[in-house]
Amino acid sequence: MPRMMKESILVFLLAALCCACAEKPALKSGNPLFEGWYADPEGVVFGDELWIYPTWSHTYGEQLFMDAFSSKDLVHWTRHEKVITQENISWLWQALWAPSVVERGGTYYLFFGANDMHEKGEGGIGVAVADNPAGPFVDALGHPLIDEVVNGAQPIDQFVFRDDDGSYYMYYGGWGHCNMVRLGENLMSLIPFEDGELYKEITPQGYVEGPFMLKRNGMYYFMWSEGGWTGPDYHVAYAMSDSPFGPFERIGTILESDPEVATGAGHHSVVKGKEADTYYIIYHRHPLGATDGNNRVVCIERMYFDENGHILPVKITFEGVPALTEGF
Ligand code: FUB
């Protein structure tokens, strides 16, 4: 073969190789993260895995169990079926909602809302325990931990937050009101705050439900959902404070619909990644064209802060976040 032809072939092959490398798309989680109608996702990091505990988003009468999902790379997810079921909660008869999970000393605590409580004694917020993040979780009390409406807050949508001093607080509430309570040493009782109060109302302007607390650089970021969860206008707003008790003044919206991608993005949680200052927001949304309010799917995006510590608005995507190669 003539030398010039050889050189041309070599140049062509090199160019093709470069193109192939340059065009290879980085592997991403994709959104939604896994199949099925799920909502109110709580992300929790256990070891090198991200676990997600969502509500099973179907009719209230069918919501009698919860599944969980775990992943090391955010691309491949293991479904853990029925980590908690009606068999292990004697007082549950409908609407098992919005899990919040913490681990302490090898025991896993799953806080749940049950029955869409309207009248005292018919349901409320309960706590179940297991020795494994995949359950089976068993109701620890045989009755709700909170079964009454205090300060106008429906006892649903609990989120348990551990502060750096070891105190555990639970933020909860629907119907436009948010309370916080302090959990006792066993994480199954309420203990009064220093001023003797058992419940503190901390409702920010615009609050509807789905509270979440994140502490970063000593600052408390309180977040919540606004709007109606069955519709397109559901979204997430936030406030900042130097205290877990607030006051929480609404700063702005951080997560909302994008008419090109999905609607009703809300009831979220946030987890910190391994890398410095890396945060992920996990939330549910309605696929475009969805007509059933329960058609909600679980998604993930990166969440960023500006130089003043404010949360930047999150862009919702179909791509999700980059795959991880060395665990979460
Ligand atoms: O999934 C049931 C309810 O929908 C939750 O409790 C609310 O926060 C809303 O997401």
* pTM (two decimals): 0.93
66 CB-near residues (< 8 Å, 6+ apart): 53, 54, 55, 56, 82, 83, 84, 96, 99, 110, 112
Round to whole Å and give the CA distance between 273 and 262. 25
Is there an atom of ligand 1 within 6 Å of 298 CB? no
Task: Using the predicted structure, report yes or no on whether residue 271 has a pLDDT greater than 90.
Answer: yes
Please give the pLDDT value at position 14.
Answer: 47
Atom of ligand 1 nearest to the CA of 225: 8
- Give me the pLDDT at residue 46, please: 98
Helices (H), the chain: 3-23
DSSP calls for 286-301: EETT--STT--EEEEE
**Are the C-beta atoms of residues 144 and 154 closer than 8 Å to each other?**
no
Is omega for the bond preceding 133 within 30 degrees of 0, making it cis? no
Ligand 1 atom nearest residue 234's Cα: 10
- pLDDT(116) > 50: yes
Evaluate whether 181 touches 170 at the Cβ level (below 8 Å).
Answer: yes
State if residue 265 touches ligand 1 by the CB under 6 angstroms criterion: no
Residue 190 burial (C-beta neighbours within 10 Å; 0-12, 13-18, 19+): middle
In angstroms, what is the span from residue 97 Cα to ligand 1's centroid? 7
Hey, whose CA ends up nearest to atom 2 of ligand 1?
97
Task: Report pLDDT for 121.
Answer: 79
- Which stretches of 260-321 are assigned E, i.e. beta strand? 262-272, 279-287, 297-303
Q: How confident is the model at residue 18 (pLDDT cuts 50, 70, 90)?
A: very low
Average pLDDT, the chain: 94
Beta-carbon count within 10 A of 19 CB: 10
Ligand 1 site, residue 98, Cβ cutoff 6 A: yes
What pLDDT digit, counting tens, does each position of 24-80 carry? 678 999 999 999 999 999 999 999 999 999 999 999 999 999 999 999 999 999 999
Name which of 168, 179, 191, 190 is nearest 102 in CA terms.
168
Taking residues 194-223, what's their average pLDDT? Answer: 98
CB of 303 closer than 6 A to ligand 1?
Answer: no
pLDDT band at 119 (very low <50, low <70, confident <90, very high): confident
Query: Which H/E stretch holds residue 197?
Result: none
